Amino acid sequence: MANAIKAVITGIGCVTPIGTGVEQLWEGLVRGQSAVREIERFVPEGLRSRIAAQIPDFQAELYMDKKRAHRMDRYSQLAVASGALALRDAGLNPADLDADRAGVFMGSALGGIAYAEEQCSRYHHGGFRAVSPTLGFSVFGGAASCNLAMEFGMTGLNETNAMSCASGAVAIGRALQAIRRGEADVIMAGGSEAPLAPLSFGAFDMLRAMSTRNESPDVASRPFDRNRDGFVMGEGSAVLVIEAEHHARARGAKIYGELAGFGLTNDAHHMSAPLPCGTQAARALRQALTSADMSPEDISYVNAHGSSTLLNDVTESRVIRQVFGNHPVAVSGTKGLYGHPLGASGAIEAAITLLALRNGWLPPTTNLDEPDPEAQLDLVVKNPRTVKSAAAVSNSYGFGGVNAVLAFRQY
């Protein structure tokens, strides 16, 4: 990859349960207090799990025109808000860009399905007259990237993928490939998810994949812990501004780090369970390292997918051991703080990984009281750690056996 155009990250925007904007996200990580609470968005009647990580007091009008906000569902609002914050953080005025060389890549597991669910209820109670006229162009997955493009006038590459909980990472990886091929100068890439509606939430509850620690929600999401009992659903969005290195340097941009590598494979095994041996997830990790022209020994930190499910955490620990062997790599899973926002998680965790590299501070694995012997990793970060890190990777896994890995390097 020596002759490829380098991709660097110059802006981070996010709306998450632990903080909005890059500074609040970091403060939320350092504070280390879980945002998981009893569900307030709807009455979880008849559900085993009644907890979630919710974004408090989100006001779309703070980030976009009120009329435009009214024409979007929450899924798209979160995406556009994160995009606005990312551009502000990057010091970029969209009007100054070559619009044809500016693109948007987003990911989401469910897109606007929660909004469709709400409108379906209105239809059953009041017929078509009760349904929003915006329904048709709000619910499709591509609404996130298209609304971002329209909001900021970006007429270049545009795509929203739907690769489940890996989709945010896939979007960022696709942006890297496009930058390297010289197809764009600037790409906004990330993920958005707003799944907290009764049927959407209940579908995962029926799979018995979510935690039922309803009496102690703040300790319900506990990656790699022996007493974990499932993931906790969350919502959120994160967008990175990814630029060709020469474009960023020409305008004197601050640079968080280099987006150095990407790997993507599929287990071809099961819709909801990972391949137990982890060989395809390990191959995605090796692909990311090869793409970044790095070896396992170059990596000092792994931000784990760490979903807090019984199967994922064991499999992921096997993957990390397969690739890194005896190399002393630090590992932490951060979903104990903000739950699992499905397709947005890979983008949020990419932002966290970049900030950990820049600040030399590794976030701990929240709620890890007793490491599971089957998911034992020698250097899992139980407490915050200050360390000089030159490179890191972030793992993301999704339903359908999707394995996506991003590699980052200090700039």
DSSP string, 228-260: ---B-BB-EEEEEEEEEHHHHHHTT----EEEE
Please give the pLDDT value at position 379: 62
Residue 258 falls inside a structural domain: no
- pLDDT mean over 50-75: 94
Same domain for 164 and 188, yes or no, is: yes
Residues 187 and 292 in one domain: no
pLDDT at 119: 86
Give the span between the Cα atoms of 154 and 146, in whole angstroms. 9
Q: Say whether both 339 and 240 belong to one domain.
A: no
Residue 387 has pLDDT above 90, yes or no: no
* pLDDT at residue number 2: 55
With cut-offs at 50, 70 and 90, classify the pLDDT of residue 386: confident
207 plus 304 within the same structural domain: no
pLDDT digits (tens, 9 = 90+) for 182-239: 999 999 999 999 999 999 999 999 999 999 999 999 999 999 999 999 999 999 999 9
**Residues 362 and 297 grouped into a single domain:** yes
Annotation says 165 is catalytic: yes
Q: Is residue 217 part of a domain?
A: yes
Query: Residue 373 falls within a domain, yes or no?
Result: yes
Residue 256 lies in a domain: no
pLDDT of residue 45: 92
Average pLDDT, the chain: 95
Is the domain of 278 the same as that of 235? no
One of 14, 120, 146, 165 is an active-site residue; which one?
Answer: 165
pLDDT interval class at 377 (50, 70, 90): low
How does DSSP assign 110-154, residue by residue? STTHHHHHHHHHHHHHH-GGGS-TTHHHHSSTTHHHHHHHHHHT-
- Note whether 150 and 15 are same-domain residues: yes
Asked if residue 47 belongs to a domain, the reply is yes
- Structural domain includes residue 155: yes
Give the tokens for residue 408: 């980052």
Provide mean pLDDT across the span 49-64: 96
- How far is it, in rounded angstroms, from Cα 66 to Cα 140? 21
By residue range, what is the domain housing residue 299? 263-409
Whether residues 306 and 381 fall in one domain = yes
Do 206 and 304 share a structural domain? no
Q: Are 246 and 317 found together in one domain?
A: no
Distance CA 42, CA 45 (A): 9
Q: Residue 230 falls within a domain, yes or no?
A: yes
pLDDT number for residue 238: 98
Residue 255: inside a domain: no
Mean pLDDT of 88-105: 97
Say what the pTM is. Answer: 0.97
Q: Which pLDDT belongs to residue 383?
A: 76
Q: What is the pLDDT of residue 1?
A: 54
Q: Which of 201, 224, 250 is the last residue before a domain boundary?
A: 250
pLDDT at 376 over 80: no
User: How far is it, in rounded angstroms, from Cα 397 to Cα 400?
Assistant: 9
Question: Is there a single domain that holds both residue 188 and residue 321?
Answer: no
Q: Are 354 and 324 in contact (CB under 8 A)?
A: no
Q: Cα–Cα distance between 148 and 312 in angstroms, integer?
A: 33
Residue 406, pLDDT above cutoff 70:
yes
CATH of the domain at 273: 3.40.47.10
Residues 69 and 215 in one domain: yes
Total domains in the chain come to 2
Q: What's the pLDDT band for 337 if we cut at 50, 70, 90?
A: very high
